[in-house]
Chains A and B, each alone.
Chain A
Amino acid sequence: MPSTQDIVQKLWNLCHVLRDDGVTYLQYVNELTYLLFLKMAKETGAEGQLPKGYRWGDLAKREGVELLEFYRLLLVHLGSEGSARAKDIFANAATSFRQPTNLHKVVKQIDELDWYSAKSEGLGDLYEGLLEKNAEETKSGAGQYFTPRPLIECMVALVKPQAGETVQDPAVGTGGFLINADRYVKQATDELFDLPEQQQIFQRKHAFYGMELVPDVQRLALMNAMLHDIEGDILLGDALGPSGAALPKADVILTNPPFGTKKGGGGASRVDITYSTSNKQLVFLQHVYRGLKPGGRAAVVVPDNVLFEEGVGQKVRADLMNKCDLHTVLRLPTGIFYAQGVKTNVLFFARGVKDKGTTKAVWFYDLRTNAPSFGKRTPLTRAYFADFERAFGADPLGKSKRTDEGETGRFRRFSREDIEKRGDNLDITWLKDDGATNHMDLPEPDLIVAEVVERLQSALEEMQAIHEELRGGV
C-alpha cells in the first residue's frame, strides 16, 4: 500500500503531465476539488448529501471513455442535485480532461488515499501549492485572488489570533488568511487538543468565516477550508452589499480586498456605510472597521490611493483614525502581487471604545524604497519581513515599545497632528530611492511593462476624475 506521502507526491507530479496535455494548474485544482469532495464525502460518511448513483464509488469503478462520459454527467448533475454544500462545489462545474487515461490516473491515486492521514500529511499543502503555482503563472484571472503566503504568514503572526476568537475575511479569495489563522491557533494549542471539547468544536465550525463574490473562487476556498478541517461559513456574496452588512462582527479581520476600481457591479450599496464611493477599497475599509467588535483588531491590504485620495478618502481615513487606533502602516514593495506595479500597504488597526480621537500616532514601516525586484527569479520569502516583525513588536495591538529609526531608518512615528497637518494624507515616505540597478538585478520585462501600464493607468484615472469634475462644474 503506497504511503500517503507517495500518493500526494504522485498527484503533484501529475500536474506536469496534465500541463503538457493542456490542462492548466487552475483547471487541475478545479478537477481535484470535485474529485476530493466526492472522496471526502465517502470517507467521512457524508455521502447522504449526494444523490445515489453519483458518488465516489460510482466514479471509481469505471474506466476508459465510459469514465470520462460519466464524470461529465456527474458534474452537471451535482450542480443542481445534492446538498447546499455540494451545489456550491459543483455549480457550473465542467471538466478540462480530454484523455480518459489522465482522468483515470488521478481517480486511481485519490482512490488509494487514506483520507485521514492524507489530510494531515499534505493534501492541504498540495492544494495550496497548486493554487500558488497557478498564481505565479497567470497573473490574471484566478491568480488575482491569491495573496502571497509569506505576507499572510507575517500578518497573522503579528495580529496573533487566539483560540476562542472569531476571525473574518470579507474578501476570502482562495482562503489563505483563514487557513493561516487556523494554523496559527492550532500550533499554539497542540492541534486544538489543549482545548476543551466545546472550544474545539467552536474552532472547527465557527471561528473562521468569510465571504467571496466570485463562485469559481468560492469553490476553491471551500475545498481549501475543508481540506484543512475548517467548517466555518464561506458564503457566496458581495461584502459591499447587504450580505456583507449581515456578517457578524469579529474579533479579528484579516483581508486583502480585490484591487481595481471597475465601475459597475456591486449591487445595492449598504445603508450602514457612511461614505459611499466608487472606490471599492475605501468601502471595504469601512466594512472592516465597522465590522470589528470593540477592542477587535484588523490587518488589511490596501493600494496607495486609499492613503492619499482626497475628498471621500480623507473623510474615511479621518473616520478610521477617530474610531480606531491605526497604529502601524507597512508600505509593501512592488512586484509581489499578481498585478505587478500596483503599490500596496498593510494597515494594522484596533477598534477603540470611543468614536473620536482614538489614534494618537501612526508608525510607518517603509519596505518599499530600494526593495529588490520580486518575481520568479527572486521569490518573496518570510525572511524579508523579519526586520519589520521585530520592529512591530510582540503586542498585536501595536503597543510594544518601539524606536523611531530616524530619517535613514525604515520605521518612523508620526503623530496625529503631523498627519492632520498633511490633510490626513497617509502617503508618507522619507527614504531616498538610490535608483541603482545593475544588470543582474533587473526584473523580467513583463513586470516592467506592467509597472508602466500601472503608471499610465493611474495618470489616466486622475485625468478622468478631472474630466468628471470639470464637467460637473458651471
Chain B
Amino acid sequence: MSSQLPRGWIESRLCDVSTVVDPNPKHRNPKYVAEGFPFVSTAEFVEADGVTLETRRRVAEETVLEQESRCEFSSKSIFFSRKGTIGKTRLHPGGRLALLDSLCVINPSSALMAPFLLQALRTPRVAATIEAAVRGVALRQISVGEVRELNVPIAPLNEQRRIVAKLEALQARSRRARAALEAVPPLLEKLRQSILAAAFRGDLTKEWRAQHPDVEPASELLKRIRVERRRKWEDAELAKMAAKGKAPTDDRWKARYKEPEPVDATGLPELPEGWCWASLDELLAEELTNGRSVPTDDAGFPVLRLTAFRDGCVDLRQRKGGAWTEKDARPFLVRQGDFLVSRGNGSLEFVGRGGLVEGAPDAVAFPDTMIRVRCLNFVRPRFLALIWDSRLVRAQIEQKAKTTAGIYKVSQGDLESIALPIPPCDEQDRVCAMVERLRGVAHVKSSLASSIEQIVRLEAAMLAKAFRGELVPQDPNDEPAEAMLARLQGSNGDPAAARGEAARRAGRGKKGVKGGASRPAAREG
C-alpha cells in the first residue's frame, strides 16, 4: 500500500517527529466564566485556516495555565480534532487560550515546518489512515495513541519551505476564486428582482412604448376590465339558471353582482403610461377556488401534490391518487392557463407562491393546499406568473399572511386584495418576451455550481501533487529527510520530541500507550 515517496523524503510516525498532547486527560469540562480566556473547539475553526477567538465559552486563567504547562503551546502548535468532526487542523492563532478535549495538540520538532505538517495532515493518504482508525458510532473518535501512530511524509527542510510557500500562494488564489463564485448566486437572485422592478418602471419596454405611442389611458383599460368581469359573471349566472331549467323574468338577479374593490394607489409606485393598478379580484374571470381535501388512494382520481410547484410552474407529474371519483373531482380540474397558489407553508418566504399550468393537462385536480386563480383575458397567464414572484407582490402576501401553530396561511380574501401592476396586453407579451431572453441566468447558476466543485477538486489535486514532490523543484543539495531526522534525534538536540514522548510513555500509563520504551527512529519509505 505504500507508494513511492519522492527522493530525499521519508515517512515517519507522528510521534517520532512531534509530541502529541491531550490538553485535558481527565476529560472533564472546565468551569466556564463570563469574562475570561477563549475556549477553542472546532466550532471556532473558521474559513481560510483561521481560528476565531470570539468563542462562545470562556474559561478562567487557571484552566489556561494548566493546559499551557501540559501542552507547551507555541506558534508551531497544531490543533487536531480527534472527536466529533475528525481530522480538522489549524495552527495556533496566537494569544492565550484553552482547548476543548476534542482537540489534541501536535508540537512538531525542528524536523518539520508546522505549516508543512498542517498540509500533510490533510493529504488523502493521511485522511484515509485517520478514517480507518475511527471508532464509535454516536461519538466518532480516534485516540491520542492512534494520532501518534499516524504516518506522515517528511521532505527535506528546504523543500518543505518551498512547498509551503507555493501551496499557500495557490490556495489563497483558489480560495479567492471560490469566494468570488460563491458571491454570484445571491447576485443572480438580485438580478431577477431588479429585472422585474425595471419591468414595472417600464424600463424594459421603453423603446417599445416609444414605437407604440397610442396607448389607451389606464382609466379606460380599467373600465373595460370591469365591464368584461361583469359580463362574465352574468354569463355564468345565466348558465347556472339554464342548468336548473330556469330563465330570468327580470333583471333583479343582476343586482346580486358584487363590484370588486378597486386598488388604493396612494403609496404605490408610479406606473408607466397605459399601465393600471388592479386588485386580483378586479381581474378574476371566476371566483377563487380552494381545492378539496381527500385522503390518498392510489387507485383513485389523480390530484396534484404540493411538490408540483417548481420555478413558478406546475409540474403535472407530481401527483398522487385521491379517494374520490372523477365526478367529485370535476369542479377541481386544472386547465391550461390556470394559476395555482400555495395556501400555506411553514415558512413565510414560501407561502402564497404560485405556479402556472403551462401545457394542456390531462385530467388531474388540484388539492386543498392550493387556490386556483383564473383571470380575465386582460392578464396573460405568463405575465401573472412573472409578477407574482416580484418583491412588490411578495411583500403584500407576506404582510397579509397569518400564522397559527407555525404554519403561515393566506386566504382567498387576502389574495383578492393584492394590488397588481397591469400593462396593456401587447406590452405584457413584450415584458414576458424580454424576461424570457434573460433565461440564460439559469445556465450561469448551474455552471457556477460545477465550477465550484471543480475548484474543490483542484485544491485536493494541488495538495496531492505537492506531496508527490511535483509541485516545486527538488534540490539534490538539500539534506535528505532521513539524514536530518537521524541528526536531530541522535544528537538529542530536539527536546520537544525526545523529552515529550519519553514523558508520555513513562507518565500516564493509561490510554494509547503500547509499552516498550524504544521504537525505531524512522522507517524506510
A residues apposed to B, CB below 8 Å: 308, 310-311, 421, 435, 437-440, 442-445, 448-449, 451-452, 455-456, 458-460, 462-463, 465-466, 469-470, 473-474
Interchain CA distance A474-B470 in the complex, whole Å: 6
- Given A439-B395, A445-B195, A474-B473, A462 and B174 contact (CB-CB distance below 8 Å): yes
Asked if B181 and A445 sit within 8 Å, CB to CB, the answer is: no
In-complex Cβ contact of B169 among A421, A445, A469 (8 A): A469
Asked if A439 and B193 sit within 8 Å, CB to CB, the answer is: yes
Asked if A462 and B176 sit within 8 Å, CB to CB, the answer is: yes
Query: Whole-angstrom distance from the CB of B178 to the nearest CB of chain A?
Result: 8
In-complex Cβ contact of B187 among A444, A455, A460 (8 A): A455
Asked if A452 and B173 sit within 8 Å, CB to CB, the answer is: no
Asked if A311 and B169 sit within 8 Å, CB to CB, the answer is: yes
Asked if A438 and B472 sit within 8 Å, CB to CB, the answer is: no
Chain B residues contacting A465 (CB-CB under 8 Å) are 173
Interchain CA distance A427-B170 in the complex, whole Å: 18
Q: Which residues in chain B, 430-485, are within 8 Å of chain A measured between CB atoms?
A: 444, 451, 455, 458, 462, 465, 469-474
Chain B residues contacting A310 (CB-CB under 8 Å) are 169, 172
Give the nearest-CB partner of B462 in chain A.
A470
Query: Whole-angstrom distance from the CB of B472 to the nearest CB of chain A?
Result: 6
Give the nearest-CB partner of B459 in chain A.
A466
In-complex Cβ contact of A458 among B176, B188, B470 (8 A): B176
Give the nearest-CB partner of A435 in chain B.
B186
Asked if A455 and B183 sit within 8 Å, CB to CB, the answer is: yes
Residue of A311, A444, A456 contacting most chain B CB atoms (<10 Å) = A456
Give the nearest-CB partner of B169 in chain A.
A310
In-complex Cβ contact of A473 among B188, B194, B451, B472 (8 A): B472
Asked if A455 and B166 sit within 8 Å, CB to CB, the answer is: no
Chain A residues contacting B181 (CB-CB under 8 Å) are 455-456, 459
Asked if B197 and A439 sit within 8 Å, CB to CB, the answer is: yes
- Number of residues from B at the complex interface, CB < 8 A: 42
Query: Whole-angstrom distance from the CB of A313 to the nearest CB of chain B?
Result: 11
- Given A469-B169, A473-B471, A462 and B180 contact (CB-CB distance below 8 Å): yes
11 contacts between A and B (CB under 8 A): A310-B169, A310-B172, A440-B269, A442-B197, A445-B191, A458-B176, A459-B177, A462-B177, A466-B173, A466-B462, A469-B170
Does chain A have a CB within 8 A of B487? no
Chain A residues contacting B330 (CB-CB under 8 Å) are none
Sample of 10 further A-B pairs with CB below 8 A, known A452-B444, A455-B181, A455-B183: A437-B193, A438-B391, A445-B194, A458-B176, A462-B180, A463-B455, A469-B166, A469-B170, A473-B471, A473-B472
Does chain A have a CB within 8 A of B184? yes
Asked if B198 and A452 sit within 8 Å, CB to CB, the answer is: no
In-complex Cβ contact of B174 among A444, A452, A458, A466 (8 A): A466
Interchain CA distance A149-B348 in the complex, whole Å: 44
In-complex Cβ contact of A442 among B173, B180, B194, B451 (8 A): B194
Interchain CA distance A448-B178 in the complex, whole Å: 19
Chain A residues contacting B194 (CB-CB under 8 Å) are 442-445, 448
- Given A437-B190, A445-B198, A448-B187, A474 and B172 contact (CB-CB distance below 8 Å): no
Interchain CA distance A462-B170 in the complex, whole Å: 9
Asked if B191 and A448 sit within 8 Å, CB to CB, the answer is: yes
Chain A residues contacting B473 (CB-CB under 8 Å) are 473-474
Interchain CA distance A473-B166 in the complex, whole Å: 10
Asked if A474 and B472 sit within 8 Å, CB to CB, the answer is: yes
Give the nearest-CB partner of B458 in chain A.
A466
Interchain CA distance A440-B196 in the complex, whole Å: 11
Does chain A have a CB within 8 A of B59? no
In-complex Cβ contact of B391 among A439, A459, A473 (8 A): A439
Query: Whole-angstrom distance from the CB of B165 to the nearest CB of chain A?
Result: 10
Interchain CA distance A460-B172 in the complex, whole Å: 14
Interchain CA distance A289-B180 in the complex, whole Å: 31
Q: Which residues in chain B, 71-107, are within 8 Å of chain A measured between CB atoms?
A: 94
Q: Which residues in chain B, 110-149, are within 8 Å of chain A measured between CB atoms?
A: none
Asked if A455 and B169 sit within 8 Å, CB to CB, the answer is: no
Chain B residues contacting A466 (CB-CB under 8 Å) are 170, 173-174, 177, 458, 462
Does chain A have a CB within 8 A of B390? yes
Does chain A have a CB within 8 A of B351? no
Does chain A have a CB within 8 A of B392? yes
Query: Whole-angstrom distance from the CB of A435 to the nearest CB of chain B?
Result: 8
Interchain CA distance A448-B185 in the complex, whole Å: 12
Interchain CA distance A442-B187 in the complex, whole Å: 11
Asked if B470 and A473 sit within 8 Å, CB to CB, the answer is: yes
Chain B residues contacting A463 (CB-CB under 8 Å) are 173-174, 177, 455
Query: Whole-angstrom distance from the CB of A269 to the nearest CB of chain B?
Result: 23
Q: Which 5 A-B pairs have the closest CB atoms?
A: A439-B391, A462-B177, A459-B180, A459-B177, A462-B173
Residue of A311, A444, A473 contacting most chain B CB atoms (<10 Å) = A473
Asked if A452 and B188 sit within 8 Å, CB to CB, the answer is: yes
Chain B residues contacting A456 (CB-CB under 8 Å) are 180-181, 184
Chain A residues contacting B191 (CB-CB under 8 Å) are 445, 448-449, 452
Interchain CA distance A52-B465 in the complex, whole Å: 74
Give the nearest-CB partner of A465 in chain B.
B173
Interface mask (B376-412 → A, CB under 8 Å = 1, otherwise 0): 0000000000000011100100000000000000000
Give the nearest-CB partner of A448 in chain B.
B191
Query: Whole-angstrom distance from the CB of B361 to the nearest CB of chain A?
Result: 33
Residue of B178, B188, B391 contacting most chain A CB atoms (<10 Å) = B391
Chain A residues contacting B193 (CB-CB under 8 Å) are 437, 439, 442
Interchain CA distance A100-B203 in the complex, whole Å: 34
Interface mask (B490-515 → A, CB under 8 Å = 1, otherwise 0): 00000000000000000000000000
Interchain CA distance A310-B188 in the complex, whole Å: 30
Chain B residues contacting A474 (CB-CB under 8 Å) are 469-474
Chain A residues contacting B187 (CB-CB under 8 Å) are 448, 451-452, 455
Give the nearest-CB partner of B173 in chain A.
A462
Give the nearest-CB partner of A458 in chain B.
B180
Residue of A308, A440, A443, A449 contacting most chain B CB atoms (<10 Å) = A449
Residue of A308, A465, A466, A474 contacting most chain B CB atoms (<10 Å) = A466
